[in-house]
Amino acid sequence: MTPADVRHASDLLWTAWQAGNVIDALPGGCRPATSDEGFAIQALLEARSPRPLFGWKIAATSVAGQQHIGVSGPLAGRLLEERVLAAGADVSLDGNRMAVAEPEFAFRLRVDLRPRAEPYGVAEVMAAVATLHPALEIPDSRYVDFVRAGEAQLIADNACAHQFVLGPVASEAWRDVDLAAHEVRARVAGRERSYDREGSGQAVLGDPRTALAWLANELPRRGQWLKAGQVVTTGACMTPLEVLPGDAVTADYGKIGSVSVRFTL
């Protein structure tokens, strides 16, 4: 792809995102064929944000999720600060065709994890973490049929990033918790129906800490790295919660804390 092709693809995705619209696919002349081309398009989405990058998301962290969208492994996307909402906020579903909420474990970095020849291990990555938070990701896609878009186009589309809710800081006791086995319970309470769902950190590449280490080693291959202060949300720890306007969602992480939002039109 030429720089003009990358820019054109970014223009189309950014315009659709801001307007709450969708496209069938990127045109053939600017459609990425590789993950590297997808990341080049994604990078220009970040450049359009008026604020410093808030952090990163990891998508497709379960085998079922990877099979659902036809990708070979996890995908990285950017969290834009203007799309981050406070816990307890009212969240509009206007234009959101996915209409799901995903309870996730989110980490804030204490120090940079700069590119280097030797891969980062999980223990070393966790030592670079400042805080853990319960979180909710509210994804969406700029494609009519994101399931068939393919890996390169999904990366270009920021790995379906849309909105993100960061919960409160967990107590330091979280460092002694087995996050892989840690259970999370969610409640969706609506005007038309209510339901409960359960999950655990095992759904996130086997362990949210493993997911964070994956990203720490993946980004340098893309010319990026995790930076102090950035937040990484590590992927859904249960089947995504289907939501409707009027629904209140609470994800309870036990001793780690909880996070809630309410959905509106």
Residue 29 lies in a domain: no
Q: Say if residue 51's pLDDT is above 90.
A: yes
Q: Each residue of 113-165: pLDDT tens digit?
A: 999 999 999 999 999 999 999 999 999 999 999 999 999 999 999 999 999 99
Q: Is the pLDDT of residue 265 over 90?
A: no
Look at the pTM and tell me if it is higher than 0.85.
yes
CATH number of the domain residue 216 falls in = 3.90.850.10
Asked if the structure places residue 44 within a domain, the reply is: no
Coil, helix or strand at residue 76: strand
Model confidence pLDDT, tens digit, residues 180-227: 999 999 999 998 899 999 999 999 999 999 999 999 999 999 999 999
**What residue numbers bound the domain in which 212 lies?**
51-264
- Backbone conformation region of residue 61, classed left if phi is above 0, alpha if psi is from -120 to 50, else beta: alpha
The answer as to whether 234 is a domain residue is: yes
| Residue 223 forms part of a structural domain | yes
Please report whether residue 138 resides in a domain. yes
41 lies in a domain? no
> Would 36 be classed as within a structural domain?
no
Quote the crossing angle between the two packed helices 3-19 and 35-48, to the nearest 10°: 60
* Residue 104 within a domain: yes
Task: Give me the numbers of helices (H) and strands (E) for the chain, helices first please.
Answer: 6, 13
Q: How far apart are CA 114 and CA 120, in angstroms?
A: 10
Count of domains forming the chain:
1
Helix (H) or strand (E) holding 125: helix 122-127
Angle at 234 between CA 193 and CA 166, to 5 degrees: 65
Q: CB–CB of 182/256 below 8 Å?
A: yes
Contact 225, 104 (CB under 8 A): no
